Amino acid sequence: MAPAIPSWQAAFGSRVIASQQARILNRTLEALTPERPAAAFDLDSTLLMNHVRQARIVREFGEATGDERLARCPPEAIVSWDLRDSARFCGFTEAEAEEIHPRLQEFWRERFFTSAYCREDLPVAGARDFLQAMLERGAEILYITGRPQEMGEGTVESFRRAGLPLPDGARVQLWLKPVLADDDDRWKEICHDRLLSMRGIASAFDNEPTHVNAYKRAFPDAAIVHLDTDHSRRPVEVLPSIPSIADFRMDAL
Q: Give the CA-trace dihedral at 235, 236, 237, 242, to 10 degrees.
A: -160
Domain 18-49+123-245 has CATH 3.40.50.1000: yes
What pLDDT does 58 receive?
A: 98
Say what the pLDDT of residue 199 is. 65
Per-residue b or e along 98-129, where b marks 16 or more CB atoms closer than 10 Å to that residue's CB: eebbeebeebbeebbbbbebbbebbbbebbbe
Q: Give the predicted TM-score (pTM) of the model.
A: 0.89
Phi, psi of 15, deg, nearest 5: -85, -15
Beginning with the edge strand found earlier in the chain, give each strand of the sheet holding 172-177 in spatial order.
Answer: 172-177, 140-148, 38-41, 201-206, 223-227, 244-245
* Whole-number pLDDT of residue 8: 44
Half-sphere CA count of 53, side-chain side, radius 13 A: 25
What does the pLDDT read at residue 203? 96
State residue 10's pLDDT score: 60
Please, are residues 7 and 237 in contact by the beta-carbon 8 Å criterion? yes
pLDDT (0 to 100) of residue 1 = 38
First to last CA, the chain: 31
Residue-level pLDDT, tens digit, the chain, 253 residues: 333 444 445 666 678 888 999 999 999 999 999 999 999 999 999 999 999 999 999 999 999 999 999 999 999 999 888 999 999 999 999 999 999 999 999 999 999 999 999 998 999 999 999 999 999 999 999 999 989 999 999 999 999 999 999 999 889 999 999 887 778 778 888 887 888 777 678 999 999 999 999 999 989 999 999 999 977 767 789 999 999 999 999 984 4
Q: What pLDDT sits at residue 13?
A: 62
Q: Which one, of 184, 182, 188, lies nearest residue 218 by Cα? A: 188
